Chain A
Amino acid sequence: DQQVKQNSPSLSVQEGRISILNCDYTNSMFDYFLWYKKYPAEGPTFLISISSIKDKNEDGRFTVFLNKSAKHLSLHIVPSQPGDSAVYFCAASRNSASKIIFGSGTRLSIRP
């Protein structure tokens, strides 16, 4: 059973517009949520995270929103740039546990 779900395998957004990537989770014990970005033939790189005590975290063009009651988080990228084209993984962890659980990823394509 997937504890972290990314239901959109792909997303295409025009350059300059907002990209919104969504993620749902099932385990209410998760208290940290992370987004990773992956280019082909490279390992994932950390992008941004949020603690369960917050509902928003912003870092430059990237903002993560957390809705605990809906067990839903989203990553907003604005404005979207060509270099943002990559696979984005949503991930979650429990502070007391060792493992980070990843979703299946969303491939974001930024078109000119």
Chain B
Amino acid sequence: GAGVSQSPRYKVAKRGQDVALRCDPISGHVSLFWYQQALGQGPEFLTYFQNEAQLDKSGLPSDRFFAERPEGSVSTLKIQRTQQEDSAVYLCASSFDFPTTKNTEAFFGQGTRLTVV
């Protein structure tokens, strides 16, 4: 498909379990973002990649969160020892360039809904 693809769509994890969330960006898109969206809130920035380089990880809430994009395409967000407060929708977005105009807009995937029980 032509859009940003995220998998799985839904994930239920037991507290303490490790999870890995996958993002397939649009082919050729340089920028890739991860956001966390809690219920009733707007997306909160987690981290940003430009190709394979992670240029900003200031939004990662703890060292249990780790993201990678080793070949500058597919990205994985890993959460270790999940806690209940990690329950949220995790959104991935990609853009051709840094997304500030209609020509460089960020395209979001449908998200992965993580529920930690």
Q: Known: A99-B56, A99-B59, A104-B40. Contact between A45 and B108, CB under 8 A?
A: yes
**When each residue 52-67 of chain A gets 1 if its CB lies under 8 Å from chain B and 0 otherwise, what string results?**
0000000100000000
- Decide: B42 and A98 in contact? CB cutoff 8 A: no
Scan residues 63-112 of chain A and give those whose CB is less than 8 A from a CB of chain B.
89, 91, 93, 95, 97-105
Count, A-B residue pairs, CB within 8 A: 64
User: Chain A residues near B108 (CB, 8 Å)?
Assistant: 43-45
- Decide: A46 and B99 in contact? CB cutoff 8 A: yes
User: Chain B residues near A95 (CB, 8 Å)?
Assistant: 98, 100
Q: Known: A43-B93, A49-B100, A98-B48. Contact between A89 and B42, CB under 8 A?
A: yes
Number of interface residues of A (CB under 8 A): 27
Q: What is the distance, in angstroms, from A76's C-beta to the closest C-beta of chain B?
A: 17
Contact among B42, B56, B58, B109 with A102 in the assembled complex (CB-CB below 8 Å):
B42
Number of interface residues of B (CB under 8 A): 28
**When each residue 89-113 of chain B gets 1 if its CB lies under 8 Å from chain A and 0 otherwise, what string results?**
0010100001111100111111100
User: Chain B residues near A101 (CB, 8 Å)?
Assistant: 45
> Could you list which residues of chain B lie within 8 angstroms of chain A, going by C-beta atoms?
4, 33, 35, 40-45, 48, 55-56, 58-59, 91, 93, 98-102, 105-111
> Could you list which residues of chain A lie within 8 angstroms of chain B, going by C-beta atoms?
4, 6, 32, 34, 41-46, 48-49, 51, 59, 89, 91, 93, 95, 97-105
